[in-house]
Amino acid sequence: MKRFLIPLALFLFLVLILALGLRLDPHEIPSPLINKPAPNFLLSQLHAPDVTVSPQDMKGQVWLLNVWASWCESCRQEHALLMDLSSQHLVTIIGLNYKDTRLNGINALRELGNPYQLSAFDADGRVGIDFGVYGVPETFLIDKNGVIRYKQIGVLTPEVIKEKLIPLIAKLNNA
């Protein structure tokens, strides 16, 4: 009986490791940009083609950069949450309209409501590449000095907003 004990223990150990592995989400790639300055860009605004926007404009305030597109189905899921967050006036929300057309982007916001103070218009996705975007939606929380403090890959959830974003925003605002 005793001779089975070690193989059994090894087997259980293996099961444990594999079970842990199954719970990891391989789609979530840790961003090397956390705690690094947000990449700079100069883009035109979605609603105002001749006005530009740059992260420099947001220096001195904590802000969210939400990468979205009208063709992105899961962006619609988090849209209501962004509307809600924007109505609380806790943080400046800037959109990055990613690989979209102006018309579709503007229409989507007209239809669903606009949670963004403004949206930057990234037609060819270049700025997206600089931010390491690979799955829309993605959301970056950027502090007063322009450093990225948090990145959400995929859809925001009420839990993420309540338990991660809001406390972090409060902390960064006091910093």
Amino acid identity, position 45:
Q
- Taking CB under 8 A as the criterion, the residue among 90, 112, 125, 144 binding other proteins is 125
**166 exposure class (CB count in 10 Å sphere: 0-12, 13-18, 19+):** middle
Give CA separation, 57 vs 7, 121, 136, 172, in Å.
Answer: 62, 15, 24, 18
Q: How far is the CB of 133 from other proteins (least distance, A)?
A: 8
3-state secondary structure of 140: strand
The answer to whether residue 113 forms part of the interface with other proteins (CB under 8 A) is no
- Taking CB under 8 A as the criterion, the residue among 47, 90, 113, 130 binding other proteins is 130
Q: How far is the CB of 153 from other proteins (least distance, A)?
A: 10
Of 50 and 124, CB closest to other proteins: 124
Rounded Cα distance between 59 and 63, Å, is 9
3-state secondary structure of 72: coil
Nearest to 85 by CA among 172, 173, 156, 174: 156
Stretch that binds other proteins, among 26-34, 47-55, 76-84, 110-118 (CB under 8 A): 26-34
Q: How far is the CB of 130 from other proteins (least distance, A)?
A: 7
Q: How far is the CB of 41 from other proteins (least distance, A)?
A: 13
Which residues in this chain contact other proteins in the complex, by CB under 8 A? 26-27, 29-33, 99, 124-126, 129-132, 134-135
